[in-house]
Chains A and B, each alone.
Chain A
Amino acid sequence: SQQGEEDPQALSIQEGENATMNCSYKTSINNLQWYRQNSGRGLVHLILIRSNEREKHSGRLRVTLDTSKKSSSLLITASRAADTASYFCATDGEGGSNYKLTFGKGTLLTVNP
C-alpha cells in the first residue's frame, strides 16, 4: 500500500521560479523524508523532518509539516534546470514501524531553461 501521495503528479516551471510539491499521508508518523530521483534510478535523500518539527530548511529547500492535516510540502526556491527530477515523500509509522518507509508515486518536476 502507498501511504504518501504527492500532488501534483507533474509540474513544469521556468528556471528561476519556485516549485512547491505537496504530500499527504494517512497514519501517524515519526518522520517524513523527501527524496529526489533522476531517470528512475537511485534516490537522493534531501531532507528529514521529525513529527515534532514544523519547518526545516536546507539550502534552497524548505519543508513544512502539518501533522494535524497529515500533510507536508517541499518548496524549491530559484529552481534550476538541474532540479528536473521526480520528487517523493516517504513516511514511516505504518503499522507502528519506525523504519519501514512508505512512498507515494512522486511528482515529476520539469524545470525549463
Chain B
Amino acid sequence: GAGVSQTPSNKVTEKGKYVELRCDPISGHTALYWYRQSLGQGPEFLIYFQGTGAADDSGLPNDRFFAVRPEGSVSTLKIQRTERGDSAVYLCASSSAGGGQFFGPGTRLTVL
C-alpha cells in the first residue's frame, strides 16, 4: 500500500507569512507524528496525535505552531508569522499500535 505522503515537497515563503503543511498517513494508522529536522541534526519531535486528538504537543517550539487532525487521518501543521529560524525539513510519520514509525518524504520549508 501507499506510504506516508506530504505536501508540498518544498515551500518557500517570506518572513511573517502563514504556511500550512499537509500529511497523509498510511491508511489504518491511528497514530501520527510531526518532527522537524535542521541541517546536520536528527529529527526532533513536535507533536503526536492518537486519533483526532493531540496526545502530546510538548515539542511545539512556541504558540506560532499548531497542528490539527480533524478526522483522525490527514493532519495539517500550521505555522503563523514564520521566522527564518523555522526553516527546516518537516517530517510526518504514522504508526499502528505498537508498531514502528514510518516517515514521509518531508516538506522542506525555507523562510526568506
B42 located at the interface, meaning its Cβ lies under 8 Å from any Cβ of chain A in the complex: yes
A-side contacts of B59, CB under 8 Å: 100
Contact B101 A101 (CB under 8 A): yes
Interface bracket on B: 20 to 34
Per-residue CB proximity of B40-56 to A under 8 Å, as 1/0? 11111100100000011
Asked if B109 CB lies within 8 Å of chain A CBs, one says: no
Residues of B within 8 A of A45 (CB): 100-103
Closest to A3 in B: B42
A105-B40, A105-B41 as given contacts; A43 in contact with B56, CB under 8 Å: no
B31 at the interface (CB under 8 A from A): yes
A43 and B43 in contact, given A97-B56, A100-B56 (Cβ under 8 angstroms): yes
**19 additional contacts, CB 8 Å, given A33-B101, A35-B103?**
A2-B42, A31-B100, A40-B39, A42-B106, A44-B103, A45-B100, A45-B101, A45-B102, A48-B100, A88-B42, A90-B42, A90-B101, A99-B31, A100-B56, A101-B35, A101-B101, A102-B45, A103-B43, A105-B40
Identify 29 residue pairs between A and B in the complex whose beta-carbon atoms are under 8 Å apart, listed by A's number: A35-B103, A40-B89, A41-B105, A41-B108, A42-B103, A42-B104, A42-B105, A43-B93, A43-B103, A44-B103, A45-B100, A45-B102, A48-B100, A88-B42, A88-B43, A90-B42, A90-B43, A99-B31, A99-B55, A99-B56, A99-B95, A100-B45, A100-B56, A101-B43, A101-B45, A101-B101, A105-B41, A105-B42, A106-B42
